[in-house]
Amino acid sequence: VDTGTSLIVGPSGPMKTLISTLNVQPDCSGINSLPTLSFTISGQVINVPPSIYVIKETTVLGKTQCAFGGQGASTTMWILGD
């Protein structure tokens, strides 16, 4: 497990499915209805709620925007960001 990034990174196929399934809205609507993601590592379940995996930023114009904090990569490994 690499925790040297702020994102969740995984194989392109599963991440593409995850991103489209979650469908995080850019206007931040529906964040509270998004599921908690669960990762099992050596039998230990790590729960990641949407308050952690959704990146919420305020633009220079004061508008709030949201995006899923993850991406796909050409790898078979997963990186669980900080």
Q: How far apart are CA 23 and CA 45, in angstroms?
A: 23
Contact criterion met (CB below 8 Å) for 80 and 1:
yes
pLDDT, tens only, 52-78: 999 999 999 999 999 999 999 999 988
Contact criterion met (CB below 8 Å) for 80 and 4:
no
pLDDT, tens only, 19-57: 999 999 999 999 999 999 999 999 999 999 999 999 999
Q: Where are the beta strands (DSSP E) in 1-82?
A: 8-11, 37-41, 44-48, 54-58, 64-68, 70-73, 79-80
